[in-house]
Amino acid sequence: MEKHHRFSLWYVLIAIWGVLLLNNFIVTTYGPKNLPYSEFLQKLQAGDVEEVSITGDVIAGTMKDKADGEAKTTEFVTRRVDQDLSTELSKYNVHFRAQPESTFLRDILSWVIPILLFFGIWYFLMQRLNPGQGVMAFGKNKARVYAEKDLETRFSDVAGCDEAKAELVEIIDYLKTPERFQRLGGQMPKGVLLIGPPGTGKTLLARAVAGEAGVPFFSISGSEFVEMFVGVGAARVRELFIQAKEKAPCIIFIDELDAIGKSRAGNVIGGHDEREQTLNQLLVEMDGFDPRVGVIIMAATNRPETLDPALLRAGRFDRQVLVDKPDVAGREAILRVHAAKVVLSKDADLAVIARKTPGFSGADLANAINEAALLAARKDKDAVEMADLEEAVDRIMGGLEKKNRVINPKEKRIVAYHESGHAVVASFTQGADAVHKISIVPRGIGALGWTQQLPTEDRYLMTQTELLGKIDVLLGGRGAERLIFGDISTGAHNDLQRASDIARAMVAEYGMGRTLGPATYPRQNRPVFLGTEQGGLAGREYSEATAAKLDLEVKEILEASQERVGALLGQKRELLENIAKALLDKETLDEAAFTALLDAAKAPSAPPAA
């Protein structure tokens, strides 16, 4: 890949300065002698001037010059001062002539130089434009081509997705030794689709495949095919495949495939003709090229449910590789890859950070390492310590701390009991995650406090008991407010929303209720890998009577949870008040401090003194 150097005006100025110096040197060394007019008159009176040529006020000619005892002729140039020169020249019998001043060159340069300058600037700008940016280059594809020597990414740079890497090893072997597979009549899959949540390393994995195989890599985003002019995207697809065939074996990588590969069903009215033509051309190209050429098409998306079925059939993207969020071992491996670029102290335990970051993607973990390095640098530390890593994780999960926000004592007391209620219910509810940290320092946009719970291990299934436990924990803050103050606040708004979503999902989606029984009515068009914040059902397929029963059962689940939470907090009121007082005093309780309060509450009280 060619390296483009940044243009600088200093280059032009240095070049002009060099030309001027060279011109001055040539004129001074090899040009005519610049003679003062007074000296010219002296030479004239002495009879040393042989011939002159007069152009305006400039006098150029030859004269006798006696240097080193030898007589020779020297060219000179001077500028006259008086107008009676002709009389003097005639007096001394000097041959002279008058030469009219020519303005032809000046007239030519007056319009030639601006035109040349204009075309020079235009050519320079056209050369610096990327393919597809010129006015006449709409049909050119915008793929960035990386040569083999420019691809430094290897599988060692990708961690946390060992299964996906194992699936792609066969692609690398085929690109390196295609005859090994062709001798048995086997054909390599034409397309490999990487699917998974955002930030899990799909693009990085594709670059690593190209780097391991040592082949050119064409990288383009799906949105770069589509323009406002119909037919441009299809032309770019054709040109991309033509270039790829010329550089085969190679890899074409299309990021965000859903930008051009959305399903055509239901788009009869108001459909985007340009997107559909681009998709049709892509389907034709994938069917048309010879698999023996050695062009592998890789694509990535986090919305596979929106892709057109024609893209996913056998013979096109016939191999789908899931790049999911890493487990605890994968998270530790990813942390070590990114931590190799920063200076870590000896107390930094990445295994602990991996256990504290369930649900983090590779991008989140890279951000955590970077945030920790920035925090350590801000405090002028020599290395990134464990406290910096934990603070960085807390910042990503809960938002930025706002210690300068002024909260009146009454509201601060409400927040302390609210968070203590969450913690107490989580500690004595079956299936609830363990409490890791409690804080009443405001974070993020609207969070006045935060109770951080971390699972002891990665889990992929939730039982009915665990879901009910989550609802109990969410309602614990509201229950503590009601118990201590006899009133409730708006601080439980988000807790109620999340609890309602869980209860509705239990009844309508998971078959855990009485109303629908084993039947399920999931939310329609729900993204597979993208989170959704919408509550309720987007498009229900049941009657109003069933909807009323569903709402009633959701209400019953929430009310039963509220009763359980109220009874539990009434039994643990002393512990609740102790945790709230500690929060008001220290503002933040870590896992060790919270566990000490729990142990003190569980210890039998000492018998009274005799």
Say what the pLDDT of residue 134 is.
45
At residue 204, φ and ψ (nearest 5 deg) are -60, -40
Nearest Cα neighbor of 141 from 267, 282, 291, 36 is: 282
How far apart, in whole angstroms, are the C-alpha atoms of residue 258 and residue 530? 13
pLDDT level of residue 136 (50, 70, 90 thresholds): very low
439 plus 545 within the same structural domain: yes
549 plus 471 within the same structural domain: yes
How far apart, in whole angstroms, are the C-alpha atoms of residue 444 and residue 427? 25
pLDDT tens digits along 94-115: 665 555 555 555 556 566 666 7
316 plus 332 within the same structural domain: no
- Choice among 332, 419, 481, 553 that is catalytic: 419
pLDDT tens digits along 544-576: 888 888 889 999 999 999 999 999 999 999 999
Please give the share of the chain, as a percent, with pLDDT higher than 90: 12
pLDDT tens digits along 344-355: 888 888 888 888
Residue 117 is assigned to a structural domain of this protein: no
Looking at the whole model, is its pTM more than 0.75? Answer: no
Residue 87 is assigned to a structural domain of this protein: yes
Tokens of 502: 């869980």
Of the CA atoms within 13 Å of residue 82, those in its CB half-sphere come to 10
Tokens of 56: 């305006």
Tokens of 323: 């790049």
Question: Catalytic site residue 419?
Answer: yes
**Which of these three, 398, 418, 435, is where a domain ends?**
398
Say what the pLDDT of residue 424 is.
92
510 plus 432 within the same structural domain: yes
DSSP structure string for 187-242: ---SEEEEE-STTSSHHHHHHHHHHHHT--EEEEEGGGT--SSTTHHHHHHHHHHH
Is 523 a residue whose pLDDT tops 70?
no
Domain of 459, in residue numbers: 409-602
**Which of these three, 366, 398, 430, is where a domain ends?**
398
CB atoms near residue 193 (< 10 Å): 25
pLDDT level of residue 535 (50, 70, 90 thresholds): very low
Q: Which residue has the tokens 């007391």?
A: 413
Q: Per this entry, what is the length of the chain?
A: 610
Report CA-CA distances (Å) from 303 to 243, 258, 501: 28, 7, 23
The one-letter amino acid at 565:
V
Say what the pLDDT of residue 234 is.
80
Nearest Cα neighbor of 289 from 279, 278, 281 is: 281
pLDDT tens digits along 195-236: 988 888 888 888 888 888 888 888 888 877 776 555 677 888
Say what the pLDDT of residue 435 is.
87
CATH of residue 188's domain is 3.40.50.300
Is 469 a residue whose pLDDT tops 60?
yes
357 plus 241 within the same structural domain: no
Q: At what angle do helices 573-586 and 409-427 cross, to 10 degrees?
A: 130
pLDDT tens digits along 314-327: 878 888 888 888 88
418 plus 507 within the same structural domain: yes
DSSP 8-state assignment for residue 575: H
Longest dimension (CA), the chain: 148
Helical residues (DSSP H) of 218-327, grouped into ranges = 232-246, 258-261, 273-288, 309-312
* Contact (Cβ atoms closer than 8 angstroms) between residue 261 and residue 279: yes
pLDDT tens digits along 375-424: 999 988 889 998 889 888 888 887 776 766 667 788 888 999 999 999 99
Q: Of 509-513, 539-543, 548-552, which range is least confident?
A: 539-543
Say what the pLDDT of residue 107 is.
57
Q: Which residue has the tokens 């074996």?
A: 249
Residue 222 is assigned to a structural domain of this protein: yes
pLDDT tens digits along 236-256: 888 888 888 888 788 888 888
Residue 318 is assigned to a structural domain of this protein: yes
Mapping DSSP onto H, E and C, the string for 359-380 reads CCCHHHHHHHHHHHHHHHHHCC
Say what the pLDDT of residue 610 is.
40
pLDDT tens digits along 355-376: 888 888 888 899 999 999 999 9
309 plus 426 within the same structural domain: no
Residue 121 is assigned to a structural domain of this protein: no
CB atoms near residue 430 (< 10 Å): 10
* Contact (Cβ atoms closer than 8 angstroms) between residue 522 and residue 511: no
Nearest Cα neighbor of 368 from 333, 399, 334, 392 is: 392
CB atoms near residue 66 (< 10 Å): 10
Position with higher pLDDT, 148 vs 273? 273
CB atoms near residue 1 (< 10 Å): 13
498 plus 592 within the same structural domain: yes
242 plus 315 within the same structural domain: yes
Residue 590 is assigned to a structural domain of this protein: yes
Residue 181 is assigned to a structural domain of this protein: yes
270 plus 391 within the same structural domain: no
In terms of phi and psi (left: phi > 0; alpha: psi -120 to 50; beta: otherwise), the region of 504 is alpha
The mean pLDDT value of the chain amounts to: 78
Report CA-CA distances (Å) from 550 to 467, 505, 534, 535: 17, 10, 17, 14
What is the number of structural domains in the chain? 4
Is 494 a residue whose pLDDT tops 50?
yes
The one-letter amino acid at 435:
V
How far apart, in whole angstroms, are the C-alpha atoms of residue 71 and residue 84? 29
Of the CA atoms within 13 Å of residue 148, those in its CB half-sphere come to 10
Residue 154 is assigned to a structural domain of this protein: yes
Is 1 a residue whose pLDDT tops 70?
no
Tokens of 295: 């062009």
480 plus 418 within the same structural domain: yes
CATH of residue 89's domain is 3.30.720.210
Is 9 a residue whose pLDDT tops 70?
no
How far apart, in whole angstroms, are the C-alpha atoms of residue 591 and residue 435? 7
How far apart, in whole angstroms, are the C-alpha atoms of residue 366 and residue 569? 40
**Which of these three, 34, 68, 98, is where a domain ends?**
98
Say what the pLDDT of residue 218 is.
85
